[in-house]
Chains A and B, each alone.
Chain A
Amino acid sequence: MPIQYYIFFCLTLFSIGVIGVLTRRNAIIVFMCIELMLNAVNLLLVAFSKMYNGAALQITPGSTAGIDAQIFVFFIMVVAAAEVSVGLAIIVMMFRNTHSVDINFLNRLKN
């Protein structure tokens, strides 16, 4: 499978995430779209990992080239989990105070 296909696919997912961030007002959905972006990157990294691994394997069998990308993905997931916990805590806190998760209402600070 050519790498470009993966890149295109991942970029599409990423952009859908971006579009989601731009078009939705619900803070939680926005956050979910950001998670979608992260997932797209994850897949992209794995695809690159396999690309390098495949190339390396042809020269040295048993090579672990490209494994760092998968490790990176692992770390992204770890970080995402931490981020989600904090993020949801913030959203909940916000909701407690305003009874809304609409980001359009986040406009007291401006100009």
Chain B
Amino acid sequence: MKLIIGFIVLWPLVGFLFNGLGRNIWSKKTIAYKATGYVLASFILSIIAFVNVQAKGAITVHYFDFINTDTIKIPFDFKVDALSSLFLLVITGVGTLIHLYSTAYMKDEEAPHYARYFAYLNLFIFSMLLLVLGDNYVIMFIGWEGVGLCSYLLIGYWFTNTTYNYAAKKAFIMNRIGDLGFLLAIFWLIVKLGTVSYGTVLTAESLAKLSTTDITAITLLLFVGAMGKSAQIPLYTWLPDAMAGPTPVSALIHAATMVTAGIYMITRSNILFSASEITQHVVAIVGISTALLAATIAIKQNDIKKVLAYSTVSQLGYMFLGLGVGAYSGAVFHVITHAFFKALLFLGAGSVIHAMHHEQDIRKMGGLKSKLPITHFTFLIGCIAIAGVPPFSGFFSKDEILAAAFAKSPIYWVLGVIGAAMTAFYMFRLYATTFLGKFRGTEEQAHHLHESPFAMTLPLILLAVASAIAGAIGIPELMGGHHWLSHQLTPIVGVTKEAALSHSTEWALMGASVSIAVIALLIAVNRYKRQADGEPQTALGKFLYNKWYVDELYNNVIVQPLNKFAGFLKETIEKNIIDGAVNGTGKVVQYSARKIRLIQNGQVGYYILFMVLGIILLFLCWFNDITIHRFFNN
């Protein structure tokens, strides 16, 4: 088992090294096969691991000591349990599909860059697997930063484009801000508990050792980490910009896997989070605010990937809402379903972009339904799933979160439903503008429109199927299911506390949210099936179109002042004050040198005069001393 689990992680690493080192040697075909093959191998091993966990329960394996000193010991251990094995499947599974998809999508790249792309992807899978497999927070942190790195590399994949580089840098730095929070939380744990292994930290005994302040601080800091990685207010702005990367990357990293790391981390640490009321509220509020904010922005975006990006942010907000209200399994459920349908949507968008020759503006699309039938169909399924229409997967997961939110506070529920409605609206706005109506692009584009190759459509189909049926793993008992997922996760997150709701309430809530969503989607389809949005006219429209001016706000309030501050330090403090003091000392010496040497004026008379004065001075010195001593002695 030790080997199997080890190789789950190692295969992508091997792929990374293989592609990275051989980028000038191998043909594109070899690269593609190997890259996909290694991830597939991981996937297969993950299934084995999963089955094993199902059969025997959680497994912890020890490899070596990462850090082992007399004060702190951080082993390099992996832990496969219900939670991580689920994540393993999602990561490697979706990963495999996206690798497959990429082989076709990226085929125009030159071989070295093609290899580079797959190397990054493999490295990403490797990091992500480290993140979920690690048996302590430090290993998780290694993966955590690793995925940040890969995200950076992939966003800036087309490195000659300066804008993309800025986006990549922004992503990395915002992630780093979050990582700092995570890091501080780890330190806090080490200071208080002396260990970071889940096995010891996440137990009741450890909890007893921590004061409420400790727990609140630790969980808040952890949450800061999650904010960065999972793009929550205020650290969300990198995610929409991250769409600069190739579309499969957006699908894999910025929709399906990496951004859910925060959810994974909080779910993993649920004991701590549940112990802090304050943190839970913070998480829930930040989550729902993000969900709504992103949804409002998504309504007015015209870039196909931007819409999906804000939709991701919004969905992540939902997940955090779920975490905040204690519906850990609900959040994980949503992670899984979201992985499927968002990956599907992104890949679909990729297929569209591919067909449109890298045109991403939906106003220039329209009527693609007939030209791209498979893409259209799968995309539609994705939209329905995300809109929360039963019986597609999104419905179940979203509903579970909403139900839990209601149990916590009806306000959360109301806001959640508004968000859901907006989700339905903007998704179908997107769908309608893109696929319905008439084609609005150029003649040439119209001429070249074609369905994508099989390597691209296959993942679409598979994901569409998954999006449609994935809800099955979590059909609530209410509907006669037995919520397999929830049972799966019970050893880790405990029993979800939603039992308070009566069945009739639940049915009512479900009905309300679904009907509102359906109404919203119908409005959207109706409005956008013939025409696209023009330039925004109203103030609100502009406001939303410009993303609440948050980027501008950050730029003016944080980035520019800090930049100015740095300039001030460099130009004024460093140059004039600190170095000035150093050089000033030299200047003083030189100045006094110029002056003092004038005493030596060449005149013997003066010299002797100075001597006489010197004698007088010495006498006075001595005289003074004598007198003073006499004064004190008497």
Judge whether A111 and B601 touch: CB under 8 Å: yes
A1-45 contacts to B, CB under 8 A, are: 18, 21-22, 25, 30
Interchain CA distance A103-B601 in the complex, whole Å: 13
- Point out the residue from A25, A103, A104, A111 that lies within 8 Å of B600, measured CB to CB: A111
Bound form: Cα–Cα A107–B600 in Å: 10
B609 to A: closest C-beta gap in Å: 6
A84 at the interface (CB under 8 A from B): no
Contacts of A99 in B (CB 8 A): none
Count of interface residues, chain B, beta-carbon cutoff 8 Å: 11
Q: Once the chains bind, are B605 and A25 in contact (CB under 8 Å)?
A: yes
Which residues on A sit within 8 Å (CB–CB) of B598? 111
Interface residues of B in 589-628 (CB under 8 A from A): 597-598, 600-605, 608-609, 612
- Residue in A closest to B609 when the chains form the complex, CB atoms: A22
A106 beta carbon closer than 8 Å to chain B: yes
Contact of B605 among A104, A110, A111 (CB under 8 A): A104
Contact A106 B612 (CB under 8 A): no
Do B612 and A22 have beta carbons less than 8 Å apart? yes
Contact B604 A111 (CB under 8 A): no
Partner pick for B603 among A18, A21, A30, A103, CB 8 A cutoff: A103
A96 within 8 A of B: no
Query: How many angstroms between the C-alpha atoms of A107 and B605 in the bound complex?
Result: 11
Other-chain contact of A22, B597, B602, B605 (Cβ < 8 Å) = B605
A89-111: contact bitstring with B at CB < 8 Å (1 yes, 0 no)? Answer: 00000000000000110111111
Query: What's the minimum C-beta distance from B69 to chain A, rounded to whole angstroms?
Result: 64
- CB-CB < 8 A to A18: which residues of B? 612
Contact of B602 among A21, A25, A30, A109 (CB under 8 A): A109
Output the nearest chain B residue to A103 by Cβ-Cβ distance.
B604
Q: A109 vs B600: C-alpha distance in the bound complex, in angstroms? A: 9
> Among the listed B597, B603, B608, B609, which residue makes an inter-chain contact with A107, where contact means beta carbons less than 8 Å apart?
B603
Measured in the bound complex, the distance between the Cα atoms of B603 and A30 in whole Å is: 13
Are B601 and A106 in contact, CB atoms less than 8 angstroms apart? Answer: no
CB pair B608 A104 closer than 8 Å: no
Distance A21 CA – B601 CA, assembled complex (angstroms):
17
Question: Cβ of A111 and Cβ of B602 under 8 Å apart?
Answer: yes
Task: Please give the distance in Å from B181's CB to the nearest CB on chain A.
Answer: 66
Chain A residues within an 8 Å CB radius of B602: 106-111
- Contact indicator per residue, chain B 555-599, by CB within 8 Å of chain A (1) or not (0): 000000000000000000000000000000000000000000110
Whether B603 lies near A106 (C-beta < 8 A) is yes
A40 and B602 alpha carbons, distance in the complex (Å) = 29
- Please indicate the chain B residues that have their CB under 8 angstroms from the CB of A108 in the complex: 602
> What separation, in Å, do the CA atoms of A58 and B457 have in the docked complex?
136
- CB A18 to nearest CB in B, in angstroms, measures 6
Q: Is the CB of A22 within 8 A of B608?
A: yes
Residues of B within 8 A of A111 (CB): 597-598, 600-602
Quote the shortest CB–CB distance from B83 to chain A (angstroms): 85
| Minimum Cβ distance to chain B for residue A102 (Å) | 11
B600 touches A106 (CB 8 A): no
| Chain A residues in 8 Å Cβ range of B609 | 22
Q: Chain B residues near A107: list those with CB within 8 A.
A: 601-603
Give Cα distance in the complex from A66 to B608, angstroms.
33
Inter-chain CA distance A25–B604, complex, in Å, is: 9
Least CB separation from B598: chain A residue: A111
Question: Are the CB atoms of B612 and A110 closer together than 8 Å?
Answer: no
When the two chains form their complex, are residues A110 and B600 in contact, meaning their CB atoms are under 8 A apart? yes
The closest CB in chain B to the CB of A104 belongs to B603
Residue of B nearest to A19 (CB): B612
Q: Give the Cβ gap from B616 to chain A, nearest Cβ, in Å.
A: 11
Task: Pick the most buried of B598, B605, B608, B609: most chain A CB atoms within 10 A of its CB.
Answer: B605
Q: How far is the CA of A88 from the CA of B167 in the complex (A)?
A: 92
Task: Find chain A residues with CB under 8 A from B600 CB.
Answer: 110-111
B617 CB to closest chain A CB, in angstroms? 15
Task: Write out, one digit per residue, whether chain B residues 185-199 have a CB within 8 A of any chain A CB (1) or not (0).
Answer: 000000000000000
- Interface residue ranges of B73-106 to A (CB < 8 Å): none
With a cutoff of 8 Å between Cβ atoms, the chain B residues found around residue A25 in the complex are 605
Chain B residue nearest to A18 (CB atoms) is: B612
**A103 contacts across to B, CB distance below 8 A:** 603-605
Q: In the complex, what distance in Å separates the CA atom of A12 from the CA atom of B612?
A: 15
> Could you tell me the distance in whole angstroms from the C-beta of A25 to the nearest C-beta in chain B?
7
Residue of A nearest to B596 (CB): A111
Kindly report which residue of chain A lies nearest to residue B601, judged by CB atoms: A110
Given A104-B603, A106-B602, A107-B603, also A21-B608 (CB < 8 A): yes
Q: How far is the CB of B215 from chain A (nearest CB, A)?
A: 76
Residues on the A chain within 8 Å of B612, using CB = 18, 22
* Extra inter-chain contacts (11) besides given A106-B602, A111-B601, CB under 8 Å: A18-B612, A21-B605, A21-B608, A22-B605, A103-B603, A103-B604, A104-B603, A104-B605, A109-B602, A110-B602, A110-B603
